[in-house]
Amino acid sequence: MDPRVATFLDELGKQETIKPLPVRDRIVSLLDEVEQEQDRVALLQAFHAIMGLAVRSLEAQGNDATELKNAILSDRRFFAIQEATLDGHNVDPPTLDRVVTREIEAGRMEPDNFSDLANSGASVLGSSIPVPAKRGFFQRLFGSDVGE
């Protein structure tokens, strides 16, 4: 596990009171920095737990948590898109579908229009990862094209 993620989770576990907004901001920052899926999943689990506590706390106080739930849903969608953006600019549809499916199976997201779009994008558009050109017979034999 990335040491930054391990440190964050350790510190989070030691806090007596947790303020959801600063925790959310730190998770967003770390998600932008880490590259391994296991680190992202650990951070998404923490996000899910902390935001779930915030929603339940609001509701227990008799407050409407609809706006917070909508913000959390937007964050989750952003996190999925961020993870599926492989080259820094383009979203890879099969990766987005895989990430959304993983999050649904883990109970951190619900099937909805977004998951339907992710699935449709993967099946219709396919991957946006550039495929290197195959080397032809002469390239393999001589190391370059004939006539170059």
The H-or-E segment that residue 69 falls in is: helix 66-84
138, 131 Cβ separation under 8 angstroms? no
Amino acid at 11: E
Cα separations in angstroms, 94 against 33, 37, 49, 57: 22, 15, 27, 36
pLDDT score recorded for residue 123: 83
- CB 139 within 8 Å of CB 145: yes
Residue 47 has pLDDT above 80, yes or no: yes
* The model's pTM: 0.79
Pick the more confident residue, 131 or 81: 81
User: Sign of dihedral through CA atoms 124, 125, 129, 132?
Assistant: positive
Average pLDDT over residues 82-101: 90
101 domain residue, yes or no = yes
Q: Are 118 and 100 in contact (CB under 8 A)?
A: yes
- In degrees rounded to 5, what are phi and psi of residue 91? -85, 130
Number of domains in the chain: 1
Mean pLDDT of the chain: 88
The domain in which residue 78 lies consists of 3-128
At residue 22, the 3 state secondary structure works out as helix
User: 137 pLDDT band (50/70/90 cuts)?
Assistant: low
Res 100: pLDDT:
96
Q: Is residue 135 part of a domain?
A: no
- The pLDDT of residue 110: 95
What average pLDDT does range 105-109 have in this prediction? 95
Domain annotation covers residue 108: yes
Residue 71 in domain: yes
40 pLDDT higher than 80: yes
- The pLDDT of residue 139 is above 70: no
Beta bridge mates, 31: none
With bands split at pLDDT 50, 70 and 90, how would you rate the model's confidence at 88?
A: confident
For residue 10, is it within any domain? yes
Q: What's the confidence (pLDDT) of residue 126? A: 72
Asked whether residue 134 is assigned to any structural domain, the reply reads no
- With 80 as the cut, is the pLDDT of residue 131 above it? no
The answer to the question of residue 30 being in a domain is yes
Q: Strand, helix or coil at 91?
A: strand
